[in-house]
């Protein structure tokens, strides 16, 4: 195809002196672009104004084209930071994000972020440089078979081996990433393809796979199940936010009056002020949420997938319930729990159709009183700082429009239990694969996506060290992210499990030799403060919130604090442990 | 054990066979017999017999999500 182009051009030149056909004239008027310039053009056509990346040998032509482009590039300090910043950008802005890396180690460093995006269904387009096609398959310098590596961590991957395909491949990548059940797509572009010339053509019309249409017969069955239920529960997953169906879900919850529970990724979908919203269910779910699900006679699962962290022992999960399962992905149906009625399609259209009036006054009363009876007790004796109380206090002073990201561990679970989320795009946490190191770069991406929002990340002293280099990104772009570091000098969640399930044999969880975080922040010119006493919390939160730029608040807590309740592995959700024995 | 045969129509892309194998292994299905044939420059037909404890729909639905898989039919022989 490359040669073909050259031939066409020669033809055009040959005919220059003589009579030109209109076609040839038109061809001449069109500008020849390099593959690298095509990348920039397609990004702009797709409405991309910010990208995250890290350069290197095999992607240099693209970085050269970027030099002339209006697209704003954010240089993170590790490709994992690049990928998570893109995830944060996509999730906070509900749009497809773009990240770039060079071949070999650059590309492999993206993989964890891609796997995270794939598992949480986040739309990304990852562009990687590759060694020239002539060198491919010869173990050349910085050559890694990224297609094979990325295959299990992406919705799809492309390797472009002809410059004439580049534009349409990139357009397809955006279409695939952003449609149906969303996810990351990788486009691997060899260096010679980036340098080769071709013509930019009109945007190709892509045959988008249509959204599946639910069956009316199943809808009727589902409606009957709802009208016959006396103890229904709405089980809300991340799919609601992904489908942009928050309003429809809230209307459904209000009209039916069904008590609701949420997965980690579903938080923010249900109106948190709704008195029948019982909070997160599952391993560290709230007691009322888990008990309601165990008691219910109908579970309406909306954009949720019966993950093992949600269900506990599957055979004993919601044992009396019939199930209505609504999802865009038919592969989720009957995967872990069989559905009595499965509705495949767009939640935005299905939820309004399913809406039915219900008379479940006694059940609602029961659920709201469980919520009150089992409400968390924030009183904690002594001078020490109590993480649940701090996070509640943080939540109380955080505006509804703020974005919260977390890392992974106890601090993450405390955040889900004690903070209030008003929209799914305001709570970004690595759900499906629980990736430590997510919080800081995701917060950076979220802030770039929504510059006017307040962005806070709640992290742990283990997690923050996994992408600590991104403090340099905060500094460089003066991104005003507030870092709340819950510091227990331990890999707290692992420590808790060793305490409970491994006879207190504390293996490799001690982080008490961590660096001085205040000094570390100072090295990046980030304002910070460490607090150790309850009495310091209020003033410290006020100072952090009123500071204009990035800020790190290190909150030292006792290493032995645990997350309660906890449903032990392979145990039914009503058999939770509520305190250390 | 459930035995099933899948007849898969796919786009002739360099990545498609590898991805089919990857998803099949990951979802817990073992392959007994496999035949791949190019029907045209653009199209492949893959006939694959698999065993698993899991219902075949758990695999066929996952495979059908792949961008380059066009169609799947199942026979339980
Ligand atoms: C990349 C990665 N490695 C390991 C783990 C396993 N893991 C889960 S929680 C945890 C401890 C996290 O410690 P920290 O960030 O300090 O949070 P804490 O639990 O103390 O709040 C570990 C090691 C993980 N989730 N992700």
**Cβ neighbours, 10 Å, residue B26:** 11
| pLDDT given for residue A525 in this prediction | 98
The answer to whether A148 contacts B18, with C-beta atoms less than 8 Å apart, is yes
- Identify the DSSP state of A101: E
Domain span at residue B57 reads 2-76
3-state SS assignment for residue A106:
helix
Nearest to A27 by CA among A44, A17, A12, A49: A12
The answer for residues whose C-beta is within 8 angstroms of residue A231's C-beta and 6 or more apart is A295, A296, A297, A298, A360, A363
Q: What confidence score (pLDDT) does residue A9 get?
A: 37
Q: Give the count of alpha carbons within 13 A of A174, CB side only.
A: 21
Are A217 and A342 a contacting pair, CB within 8 Å?
Answer: no
Distance of alpha carbon A177 from alpha carbon A170, whole angstroms: 11
Q: How far is B59 from chain A (nearest CA, A)?
A: 8
Q: Is A412 on the interface with B (CB under 8 A)?
A: no
Cα separation, A500 vs A518, whole angstroms: 32
> In this predicted model, what pLDDT tens digit does every residue of B3-34 receive, in sequence order?
999 999 999 999 999 999 999 999 999 999 99
Pocket test for ligand 1, best of A284, A411, A491 (most atoms within 8 A of CB): A491
The CA A495 to ligand 1 mean position distance, Å, reads: 10
Catalytic residue among A31, A72, A141, A538: A141
Run of H or E including A219: helix A216-228
Number of domains composing chain B: 1
User: Quick one: which of A431, A444, A411 has its CA closest to A90?
Assistant: A444
In sequence order, which residues have a C-beta less than 8 Å from that of residue A433 and are 6 or more positions away?
Answer: A115, A116, A119, A120
Told to judge if A79 belongs to the known catalytic residues of this protein, a careful annotator would answer yes
Phi then psi for A39, rounded to 5 degrees?
A: -55, -50
Distance from residue A284's CA to the centre of ligand 1 (Å): 15
What pLDDT, on a 0 to 100 scale, did the predictor assign at position A5?
35
Cβ contacts (< 8 Å) between B24 and chain A: which residues? none
- Are the beta carbons of B15 and A176 separated by less than 8 Å? no
Q: CA-to-CA distance for A465 and A388, rounded, in angstroms? A: 22
Tens-binned pLDDT, residue by residue, of chain A (581 aa): 233 333 333 333 334 444 556 666 565 557 799 999 999 999 999 999 999 999 999 999 999 999 999 999 999 999 999 999 999 999 999 999 999 999 999 999 999 999 999 999 999 999 999 999 999 999 999 999 999 999 999 999 999 999 999 999 999 999 999 999 999 999 999 999 999 999 988 877 777 778 889 999 999 999 999 999 999 999 999 999 999 999 999 999 999 999 999 999 999 999 999 999 999 999 999 999 999 999 999 999 999 999 999 999 999 999 999 999 999 999 999 999 999 999 999 999 999 999 999 999 999 999 999 999 999 999 999 999 999 999 999 999 999 999 999 999 999 999 999 999 999 999 999 999 999 999 999 999 999 999 999 999 999 999 999 999 999 999 999 999 999 999 999 999 999 999 999 999 999 999 999 999 999 999 999 999 999 999 999 999 999 999 999 999 999 999 999 999 999 999 999 999 998 76
Paired tokens of A516: 């001085």
**Among the residues of A398-509, which ranges form H helices?**
410-418, 439-449, 471-477, 492-501
A136 included as an active-site residue: no
Contacts of A315 (CB under 8 A, 6+ apart): none
A221's enclosing H/E stretch is helix A216-228
Please indicate whether residue A486, judged by its CB atom, sits closer than 6 Å to ligand 1.
yes
Other Cβ atoms closer than 10 A to A228: 11
CB-CB contact of A498 with A506 (8 Å): yes
pLDDT of residue A11: 35
DSSP A437-457: T-HHHHHHHHHHHSTTS-EEE
A493 a catalytic residue = yes
The confidence score (pLDDT) of residue A258 equals: 98
Is A66's Cβ below 8 Å from some Cβ in B?
A: no
Rounded to the nearest integer, the mean pLDDT of chain B is: 96
Examine the residue annotation and report whether A142 is marked as an active-site residue of this protein.
yes
A191: annotated active-site residue: yes
Q: Is A331 on the interface with B (CB under 8 A)?
A: yes
Helix (H, G, I), strand (E, B) or coil at B65: coil
HSE-CB of A400 using CA atoms within 13 angstroms: 6
In short, whether A407's Cβ falls inside 6 Å of ligand 1 is yes
Cβ proximity of A281 and A572 under 8 Å: no
Q: Taking the mean position of all CA atoms in its chain, how far away is CA A533? A: 33
CATH code (residue B46): 3.30.70.260
Strand, coil or helix: A312:
coil
Task: Extract the tokens encoding A503.
Answer: 């006879």
Q: Determine the pLDDT at residue A1.
A: 29
Could you tell me the pTM of the whole model? 0.95
Contacts of A152 in chain B (CB under 8 A): 22, 26
- Assess B43–A contact: CB distance below 8 Å, yes or no: no
Residue A314 near chain B (CB below 8 Å)? no
DSSP assignment string, A487-530: E-SB-HHHHHHHHHHSTT---S-B-TT---HHHHHHHTT-EEEE
Q: Are the beta carbons of B22 and A151 separated by less than 8 Å?
A: yes
Tell me the residues of chain B between 3 and 42 that have a Cβ less than 8 Å away from chain A. 14-15, 18-19, 22, 26
């Amino acid at each position: 195809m490359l040669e073909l182009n050259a031939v066409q051009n020669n033809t055009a030149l040959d005919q220059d002196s003589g009579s030109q056909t209109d076609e040839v004239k038109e061809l001449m008027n069109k500008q020849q672009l390099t593959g690298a310039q095509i990348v920039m053009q397609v990004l702009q056509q797709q409405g991309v104004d910010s990208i995250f990346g890290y350069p290197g040998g095999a992607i240099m032509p693209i970085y050269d084209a970027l030099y002339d482009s209006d697209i704003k590039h954010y240089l993170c300090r590790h490709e994992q930071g690049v990928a998570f910043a893109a995830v944060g950008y996509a999730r906070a802005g509900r749009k497809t994000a773009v990240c770039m890396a060079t071949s070999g180690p650059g590309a492999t460093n993206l993989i964890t972020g891609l796997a995270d995006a794939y598992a949480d269904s986040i739309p990304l387009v990852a562009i990687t440089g590759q060694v020239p096609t002539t060198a491919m398959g010869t173990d050349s310098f910085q050559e890694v078979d990224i297609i094979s590596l990325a295959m299990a961590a992406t919705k799809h991957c492309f390797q472009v081996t002809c410059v004439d395909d580049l534009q349409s491949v990139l357009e397809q990548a955006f279409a695939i990433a952003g449609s149906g059940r969303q996810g990351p797509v990788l486009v691997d572009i060899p260096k010679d393809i980036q340098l080769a010339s071709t013509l930019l053509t009109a945007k190709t019309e892509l045959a988008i796979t249509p959204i599946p249409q639910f069956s009316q017969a199943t809808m009727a069955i589902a409606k009957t199940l709802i009208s016959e239920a006396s103890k229904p529960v709405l089980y809300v997953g991340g799919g609601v936010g992904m489908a942009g169906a928050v309003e429809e879900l809230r209307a459904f919850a209000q009209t039916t009056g069904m008590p609701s529970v949420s997965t980690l990724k579903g938080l923010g979908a249900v109106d948190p002020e709704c008195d029948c919203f019982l909070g997160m269910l599952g391993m560290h779910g709230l007691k009322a949420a888990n008990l309601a699900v165990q008691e219910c006679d109908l579970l309406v699962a909306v954009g949720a997938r019966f993950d093992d962290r949600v269900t506990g022992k599957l055979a004993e999960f919601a044992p009396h319930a019939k199930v209505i399962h609504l999802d865009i992905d038919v592969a989720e149906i009957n995967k872990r729990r069989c559905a009595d009625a499965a509705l495949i399609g767009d939640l935005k259209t299905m939820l309004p159709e399913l809406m039915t009036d219900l008379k479940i006054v006694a059940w609602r009363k029961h659920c709201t009183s469980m919520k009150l009876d089992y409400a968390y007790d924030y009183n904690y004796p002594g001078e020490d700082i109590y993480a649940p109380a701090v996070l509640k206090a943080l939540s109380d002073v955080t505006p509804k429009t703020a974005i919260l990201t977390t890392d992974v561990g106890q601090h993450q679970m405390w955040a889900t239990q004690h903070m209030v989320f008003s929209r799914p795009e305001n709570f970004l946490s690595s759900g499906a694969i629980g990736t430590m190191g997510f919080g800081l770069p995701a917060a950076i991406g979220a802030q770039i996506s929504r510059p006017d929002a307040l962005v806070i990340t709640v992290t742990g002293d283990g997690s923050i060290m996994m992408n600590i280099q991104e403090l340099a990104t905060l500094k460089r772009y003066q991104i005003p992210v507030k870092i709340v570091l819950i510091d227990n000098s331990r890999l707290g969640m692992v420590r808790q499990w060793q305490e409970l399930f491994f006879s207190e044999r504390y293996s490799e969880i001690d982080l008490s030799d961590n660096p001085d975080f205040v000094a570390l922040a100072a090295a990046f010119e980030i304002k910070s403060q460490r607090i150790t006493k309850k009495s310091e919390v209020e003033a410290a939160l006020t100072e952090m919130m009123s500071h204009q730029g990035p800020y790190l608040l290190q909150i030292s807590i006792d290493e032995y604090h645990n997350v309660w309740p906890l449903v032990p592995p392979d145990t039914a959700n009503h058999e939770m442990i509520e305190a250390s024995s | 054990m459930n035995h099933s045969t899948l007849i898969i129509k796919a786009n002739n892309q360099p990545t498609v066979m590898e991805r089919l194998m990857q998803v099949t292994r990951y979802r817990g299905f073992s392959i007994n017999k496999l035949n791949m044939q190019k029907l045209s420059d653009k199209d492949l037909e893959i006939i694959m017999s698999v065993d698993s404890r899991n219902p075949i729909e758990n695999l066929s639905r996952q495979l059908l999500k792949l961008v380059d898989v066009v169609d799947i039919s199942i026979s339980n022989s």
